[in-house]
Amino acid sequence: MQLITDINQAPNPGKLDLDSLPWVSCSCGGSIFEPAVMVKKVSSLLSPTGKEEIVPADVIICKSCNKIPAFYAKRVKGLPADLISE
């Protein structure tokens, strides 16, 4: 399943009936999400510049439990387990 972040990216946007699609909920039951950014550190040995770098990674957070929903976390490798909704 592909995550569509913008309805304009949807395949055949004119033919997509949003009323027929199910709403997605977090495992805590929440269904309102907000964007967030996590960062990873790239060591100077691996960085193309030879300097330590910070790389942003977009995630979504459930507003009810303040964790990353499990359905989203399955698509992002290496997330800390304590940040994922159970």
pLDDT digits (tens, 9 = 90+) for 32-61: 999 999 999 999 999 889 999 999 999 999
Quick one: tokens of 56? 């942003």
Cβ neighbors of 21 (< 8 A, separation 6 or more) are none
pLDDT digits (tens, 9 = 90+) for 15-30: 788 889 999 999 999 9
3-state secondary structure of 56: strand
pTM of the shown model: 0.71
**Domain extent listing, the chain:** 28-76
